[in-house]
Amino acid sequence: MTFNGYGVWAIYRFEMARALRTLWQSVVTPVITTALYFVVFGGAIGGRMQAVDGVAYGAFIVPGLIMLSLFTQSIFNASFGIYFPKFTGTIYEILSAPVSSLEVVIAYVGAAATKSAVLGLIILATAALFVPLQVLHPVMMLAMLVLISVTFSLFGFIIGIWAGSFEQLNFIPMLIVTPLTFLGGSFYSIDMLPEGWRTVALFNPVVYLISGFRWTFYGAGDVAIGISVAATLGFFALCLGVVMWMFKTGYRLKA
Amino acid sequence: MPVIEIQGLTKTYPSGLQALKRVDLTIDRGEIFALLGPNGAGKTTLISIICGIVNASTGTVVADGHDIRKDFRAARMKIGLVPQELTTDAFETVLATVTFSRGLFGRPGNPALVEQILKDLSLWDKRDAKIMTLSGGMKRRVMIAKALSHEPDILFLDEPTAGVDVELRRDMWAMVRKLRERGVTIILTTHYIEEAEEMADRVGVILKGELILVEEKTALMKKLGKKTLTLNLVEPLTTLPADLADWDLRLSPDGGELEYSFDANAEDTGVPALIRRLDRLEIGFKDLNTRQSSLEDIFVSLVHRDGEAA
């Protein structure tokens, strides 16, 4: 046997079943949260805001809000998925099973990414109810959606393995990812920032991701699409590298 | 024919704790091997290394001809593990978790087999129950069902009967014998000697990370076995006569019984001479019996002896 497909499928299904069991928490909560953003920023405030780059403000924030959900949900799903077995001790079974580290990653990250990609599409559909939407490059949009779901699920997987407590599990999403996303142009174009701050903003990796995703909707972003794609792939490669290293060394998994 | 070959296995944890000093061990196909030792002796570490949960510091393990590191897939597919702790997914159903285990170990779905395993373990009625609603004994059964779901040739039972009631213990022993009839090799750790004595073909005693003894159970009991001769006296004695000082004798508090401990394997057990001497002293006895010491006695004496050597 060179690839334990049954094993990957078993973990993947287990993780998906967990999401269905906690449907309320997995899908309904993020959708309601995002809908609130649309009501407040799109409906109430958006009407008084001028269009950004020729796009109505309500529509302008849609890609950023989807990204915000993708980031947080991917990280949450993947980190919790691997942290919980570590916490309860059921990880023993995964460690003693004939599954390679790559297969474990494919299964957990695949399940987490599937959940957040589906969620992203649900949020997109929700958004369409509130604001007029257009997607200029649908194929690129889907590709970015999947790539970013996978990348942040990998990132979440790393956090889940690293975390030694539930507090640490929440630390990075709450204290790093959410601020970077808010400051990364979810709600504005970084061109709206003063010159100095614009330069600072370019050090925020999230800017490139949101910009790229917005480009697939409206054909315009804060940075060139090529740079966005390169940044996304770079982050993906970095996360993949860290995960492979963790499994190779048994970091925080095996004594 | 060996099914597990362990060579030069050591484990030092990052904390500096030397859990295994150097273990060499061969387990034969189809046998029941009991690994005996006090808490913290290294039993679980040894099992965890073979099953892939802990990395060894040095040494090799070959399971059914497959190196557990280089050829981990083939090795692990052959191995089932029932860990000591009751770690299960609380929200899963019994059927789902056992089906999951089978898939995880690389086997295609086989509902009929899973049904049979659950029935054998009296879990079939509980198949749709969430695991968290089950009693401790039932959870233990679930863990066994999970370990058997991929039809392993080698089964590790880490303290299988710790905290388990008598009924389940009997069931478990019956199950182990049934598995052995099918050719499954079973390695169990325990600190209940009774269990090893009841079940095992061979016994290994592990102490402070070293396998200090591996022996056929019967040979071990014979080799290290002491026997005790008890004589029920006709007339109680108040003191031991000086003429009997050559024997290691104990008098019961009421003076009605005389006990003599002897090495059953010695050239001269001293028993015939004792009987002759008693006869000459005109100390009569109504009855006599000899008792073979249990594994427990053997174990205690081994641990004790090692303590003295250290």
| pLDDT reading at B232 higher than 80 | yes
Nearest CA in chain A to B51: A96
CA dihedral B49, B53, B56, B57 (to 10 degrees): -150
What's the CATH number where B234 sits?
Answer: 3.30.70.1560
Size of interface A-B (CB pairs under 8 A): 82
End-to-end alpha carbon distance in chain A: 27
| pLDDT reading at B213 higher than 90 | no
pLDDT digits (tens, 9 = 90+) for A129-175: 888 888 999 999 999 999 999 999 999 999 999 988 989 888 888 88
Contacts A14 to B, Cβ<8 Å: 92, 100
Give residue A45's pLDDT.
Answer: 76
Give residue B63's pLDDT.
Answer: 95
* C-alpha distance from B259 to closest chain A C-alpha (Å): 51
Instruction: Please say whether the beta carbons of A108 and A11 come within 8 A.
Output: yes
The partner residue sitting opposite A93, judged by closest CB among B54, B77, B101, is B101
In a domain, B77, yes or no: no
Give residue B142's pLDDT.
Answer: 93
Per DSSP, the three-state class of B33 is strand
Asked if A10 lies within 8 A of B14 by C-beta distance, the reply is no
Positions of chain A with pLDDT under 50: none
Give residue B93's pLDDT.
Answer: 94
| pLDDT reading at B309 higher than 50 | no
Instruction: Please say whether the beta carbons of B55 and B49 come within 8 A.
Output: yes
In a domain, B34, yes or no: no
Helix A101-130 / helix A225-249 crossing angle, nearest 10 deg: 140
Give residue A154's pLDDT.
Answer: 94
In a domain, B240, yes or no: yes
pTM assigned to the model: 0.83
Contacts B102 to A, Cβ<8 Å: 6, 10
Asked if A90 lies within 8 A of B89 by C-beta distance, the reply is yes
| pLDDT reading at B310 higher than 60 | no
Asked if B79 lies within 8 A of A93 by C-beta distance, the reply is no
Give me A172's structure tokens: 């990075």
Asked if A1 lies within 8 A of B73 by C-beta distance, the reply is yes
* CA contacts within 13 A on the Cβ side of B213: 22
Asked if A255 lies within 8 A of B13 by C-beta distance, the reply is yes
End-to-end alpha carbon distance in chain B: 35
Nearest CA in chain B to A9: B103
Give residue B294's pLDDT.
Answer: 66
pLDDT digits (tens, 9 = 90+) for B66-91: 999 999 999 999 999 999 888 888 88
Asked if A255 lies within 8 A of B74 by C-beta distance, the reply is no
Average pLDDT over chain B reads 88
Which value does ipTM take for this structure? 0.85
Using a CB–CB cut-off of 8 Å, the residues of A that contact B are: 1, 4, 6-7, 9-11, 13-14, 17-18, 21, 88-90, 92-100, 250, 254-255
Asked if B104 lies within 8 A of A21 by C-beta distance, the reply is no
Nearest CA in chain B to A13: B100
Contacts for B118 with CB less than 8 Å, ≥ 6 apart: B94, B95, B98, B124, B127, B145
Contacts B88 to A, Cβ<8 Å: 90
Domain boundaries, chain A: 5-249
Asked if A21 lies within 8 A of B74 by C-beta distance, the reply is no
| pLDDT reading at B307 higher than 60 | no
Asked if B73 lies within 8 A of A254 by C-beta distance, the reply is no
Give residue B223's pLDDT.
Answer: 64
Structural domain count of chain B: 1
Q: Look at residues B146, B93, B91 and name the one whose alpha carbon lies nearest to residue A18.
A: B91
In a domain, B4, yes or no: no
Q: Of chain B residues 45-74, which have a CB less than 8 A from chain A? A: 48, 51-55, 72-74
In a domain, B230, yes or no: yes
Contacts A1 to B, Cβ<8 Å: 73-74, 77, 106
Give residue A106's pLDDT.
Answer: 93
Q: Which of B228-242, B261-275, B281-295 has the highest mean pLDDT?
A: B228-242
User: Positive or negative CA dihedral for B97, B175, B50, A162?
Assistant: positive
Give residue B225's pLDDT.
Answer: 63
Residue B262, domain extent: 226-292
Asked if A89 lies within 8 A of B87 by C-beta distance, the reply is yes
Contacts B13 to A, Cβ<8 Å: 255
- Report the alpha-carbon distance of residue B213 to residue B302 in Å, rounded: 9
Asked if B105 lies within 8 A of A89 by C-beta distance, the reply is no
Element (H, E) at B134: none
Rounded mean pLDDT of B135-164? 90
